[in-house]
Amino acid sequence: MGLRQRDDREHPVFSRAQRSQPRSRIGFDPDLDYGRRRGSRLSLLDSDMSIRSETVFVILRREVPNDRSAVFAVHTAAFARPDGGEVPEAKLVSALRGAGDVIPALSIVALINEEVVGHVVCSRASIDGRPSVGLGPLGVLPAYQRRGVGQALMHAVLAAADALDEPAVVLLGDLGYYRKFGFQLAEPLGIVPTDPHWAEHFQVRPLNAWDGSLRGTFRYATAFDVL
């Protein structure tokens, strides 16, 4: 159920199917490489978290209905399978919308020259029945990966969640990579995944509303169950 993020380095966010097999790329972009899979499913985070030398000018804003086809295309490209098969991450975003689990203020697109080149979404999750936030997928078009688009999306969505007074954001991914965004292992803070195999990659980003009382088993939105 975990997400891959695709951006520009190898930073994995792991899907449920990955279980104890960490991915090297995120899908919250291909190098955050959200998009690439190495055999088993990668996390749904970013595929564009690394940075190339060239400068690009990116505009970030909330997703609007007219963006939906472009968002689908971003995740389809960012997480494309080597065999050309169906891309679950792209379908996941649509399923989250259909179920009403997308948090509108936390569905953010990145534009370059008015083209949607990246997208990140957070959905409503729960921790022992209390509302929580799950991050992913995060994807960036392959042509724009490794240019900092994924990092910009990650900073933007965390800031937006903080502004909403959400206490924390949760994801599955590479601890070494996501530490730079303030994520830390969730279990020491009392938040555990439904699958114990995820523990070493299961992370939380406490925000300003965090008071330590949010403890228990974290559950993603039901759309993740089909991943």
Give tens-digit pLDDT for 157-209: 999 999 999 999 999 999 998 999 999 999 999 999 999 999 999 999 999 99
Q: 227 pLDDT band (50/70/90 cuts)? A: confident
pLDDT tens-place string over residues 73-105: 999 999 999 999 999 999 999 999 999 999 999
- CA-nearest of 116, 121, 155, 151 to 136 is 121
Residue type at 128 in one-letter notation: D
pLDDT at position 226: 80
Rounded to two decimals, what is the model's pTM?
0.81
Q: 45 pLDDT band (50/70/90 cuts)? A: low
- Residue 2 pLDDT more than 60? no
Q: On the CB side of 36, how many CA atoms lie within 13 Å of its CA?
A: 15
Measured CA distances, 204 to 2, 6, 178 (Å): 13, 19, 10
Could you give the domains of the chain? 4-226 (3.40.630.30)
